């Protein structure tokens, strides 16, 4: 009788221990899936927003480099009355605004 009770206690302990281990493995697996999903989501977010940001920055750098090579002389003729009618000033302002907009889109959606 004592042996049978001891055997049942062992079976009960094994069942409880096995259930605990299975539940622990289930929690670890779900945490792994959640982190993997978060990582993939972050990668997708960066892939989606990095390319337009880099293109806008590249175009602005190209424009500023072009203006810098001529020592910004084309911007010296900009009139105070209608600065946006000057093509170099208008295009430079547009490229700066476009880069700023891409940064703001990234900042807003990152929150």
Residues with Cβ < 8 Å from 110, sequence gap 6 or more? Answer: 45
Q: How far is CA 77 from its chain centroid?
A: 41
pLDDT at 19 over 90: no
Structure tokens at 89: 């000033």
pLDDT at 11 over 90: no
CA-based torsion, 19, 20, 21, 27: positive or negative? positive
Provide the pLDDT for residue 10: 79
CB burial of residue 49 (10 Å; 0-12, 13-18, 19+)? middle
Provide the pLDDT for residue 101: 94
Q: Which domain holds residue 80?
A: 2-110
For the chain, the domain total comes to 1
Q: How confident is the model at residue 66 (pLDDT cuts 50, 70, 90)?
A: very high
Give the tens place of pLDDT for each residue, 24-60: 788 888 888 888 787 777 788 878 888 899 999 999 9
Give the tens place of pLDDT for each residue, 80-104: 777 877 778 889 999 999 999 999 9
Provide the pLDDT for residue 2: 58
Provide the pLDDT for residue 1: 58
pLDDT (average), residues 73-80? 81
């Amino acid at each position: 009788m004592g042996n049978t009770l001891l055997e049942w206690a062992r079976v009960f302990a094994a069942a409880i221990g096995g259930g605990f281990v299975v539940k622990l493995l289930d929690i670890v697996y779900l945490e792994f899936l959640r982190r993997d999903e978060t990582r993939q989501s972050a990668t997708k977010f960066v892939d989606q927003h990095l390319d337009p940001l880099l293109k806008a920055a590249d175009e602005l750098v190209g424009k500023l480099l072009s203006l810098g090579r001529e020592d910004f002389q084309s911007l010296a003729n900009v009139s105070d009355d209608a600065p946006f009618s000057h093509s170099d000033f208008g295009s430079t302002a547009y490229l700066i605004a476009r880069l700023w907009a891409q940064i703001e889109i990234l900042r807003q959606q990152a929150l």
